[in-house]
Amino acid sequence: MQKWYLAQCRPREEDRALQNLNNQDIDAFYPYAEVKKRVRNKLVTRTEALFPGYIFVHADLELVSSTTIGSTRGVRSLVRFGGGPSVVPSELVYDLMAHCDSDALREQLSDVPLKGETVRIEQGPFAGLEAIYLEADGEMRAILLLTLLQKETSTSFGVEEFSRVAKSQ
């Protein structure tokens, strides 16, 4: 009977492991999300793993040996607890599949604020003040709404000059 297992991959070889497992007709799932991040003070879209270094494998270990999976290029080994490979609940994997690369997940992983979110200015003459993020102004700048002397003013700031204020939960 097929069950879900967790396999540890070699560093940065999750894609290779996924491809090689699929080439052997072994189902595998690599949860990821595309998120916007700041890299060298530019906004870029990147694909990030939800669980770096791990991949879910769906196999019947009576038909496919755990050694076969462990010796697949890109895979280091199946995660084990006790004597044998640990089984991952199917509901968990299917829930991850349903939410993988969703808008909510992208929003949660992104370090770029959404319109209307509070940000804190970290550099320059306004350092320490909080503002409202309005919109991106190219790749290197953004427009923020500041309240100065009881008057709201929208001003352009470099993306390196402010950061998202952590949401209280």
pLDDT in tens, 31-90: 887 777 777 777 777 878 888 999 999 999 999 988 899 999 999 999 998 888 999 998
User: Given a cut of 60, is residue 169 above it in pLDDT?
Assistant: no
User: Given a cut of 50, is residue 159 above it in pLDDT?
Assistant: yes
Predicted pLDDT of residue 8: 94
pLDDT in tens, 85-137: 999 998 888 888 887 766 666 666 666 777 888 899 988 888 889 999 888 87
Please state the rounded mean pLDDT for residues 141-156: 86
Please state the rounded mean pLDDT for residues 6-19: 92
Predicted pLDDT of residue 106: 63
Q: Which residues of 79-106 are buried (b: 16+ CB within 10 A; e: fewer)?
A: eeeeeebeebeeeebeebeeeeeeeebb
Predicted pLDDT of residue 108: 61
Structural domains of the chain ordered from first start: 3-109 (3.30.70.940), 118-164 (2.30.30.30)
Predicted pLDDT of residue 110: 67
Predicted pLDDT of residue 72: 94
Alpha-carbon dihedral sign for residues 161, 36, 165, 141: positive
Burial class (CB in 10 A: 0-12, 13-18, 19+), 6: middle
CB 106 within 8 A of CB 46: no
List CB contacts of 15: < 8 A, sequence separation 6 or more.
30, 74
Q: Which residue carries 């009881």 as its tokens?
A: 150
Tokens linked to 155: 């001003």
